[in-house]
């Protein structure tokens, strides 16, 4: 008696269900992680204020001054000259640029004034100082 073996034909389809699952998981991870990455990583103790105002621009430019007087722009140390050049480029793209100055409460006032003067000379019309609410 002879045995006959049936050979199965090759399956030429690709199952994309696992691929779709992985892509959706990655999409969710990136949606959650993106706002956390854009937050400022520089530790500053903001001064307290009793009034609250919010900005209309969803993504304003933030300049941070630490208690030691180090100026950061986009989490990178900047000199006043470098900062002025970067602000000028941004103002060329957006004339209504909103700038937030986040200075440590122990920072020398002279450092704040120096940055504010540079921003005014550059043509920034909307300058805001970041504070912490008293609540």
Query: 3-class secondary structure for 50-102?
Result: CCCCCCCCCCCEEEEECCCCCEEECCEECCHHHHHHHHHHHHHHCCCCEEEEE
Burial track 71-80 (b if 16+ CB lie within 10 A, e otherwise): bbbeeeebee
Task: Give me the pLDDT at residue 14, please.
Answer: 81
* Pairwise CA distance, residues 113 & 111, whole Å: 5
- The tens digit of pLDDT for each residue in 84-134 reads 999 999 999 888 888 989 888 888 889 989 999 999 998 888 888 888 776
**First CA to last CA across the chain, in angstroms?**
91
CATH class of 48-133: alpha beta
- Residue 58, pLDDT > 80, answer no
* Pairwise CA distance, residues 62 & 130, whole Å: 9
Higher pLDDT, 128 or 48: 128
Task: Give me the pLDDT at residue 126, please.
Answer: 86
Dihedrals phi, psi of 51, to nearest 5 degrees: -90, 155
Encoding tokens for residue 98?
Answer: 């909103």
Is residue 37 very low, low, confident or very high in pLDDT (cuts 50, 70, 90)?
Answer: low
Closest CA to 99 of 134, 49, 64, 66: 64
Average pLDDT of the chain is: 82
Dihedrals phi, psi of 105, to nearest 5 degrees: -65, -20
Domain boundaries, the chain: 48-133
Higher pLDDT, 74 or 81: 81
């Amino acid at each position: 008696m002879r045995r006959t073996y049936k050979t199965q034909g090759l399956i030429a389809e690709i199952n994309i269900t696992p691929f779709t699952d992985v892509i959706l998981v990655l999409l969710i991870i990136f949606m959650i992680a993106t706002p956390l990455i854009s937050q400022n990583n520089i530790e500053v103790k903001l001064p307290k204020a009793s009034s609250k105002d919010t900005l209309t621009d969803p993504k304003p430019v933030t300049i941070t001054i630490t208690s030691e007087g180090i100026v950061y722009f986009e989490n990178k140390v900047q000199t006043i000259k470098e900062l002025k050049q970067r602000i000028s480029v941004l103002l060329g793209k957006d004339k209504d640029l909103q700038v937030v100055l986040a200075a440590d409460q122990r920072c020398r006032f002279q450092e704040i004034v120096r940055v504010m003067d540079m921003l005014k000379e550059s043509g920034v019309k909307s300058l805001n100082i970041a504070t912490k609410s008293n609540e």
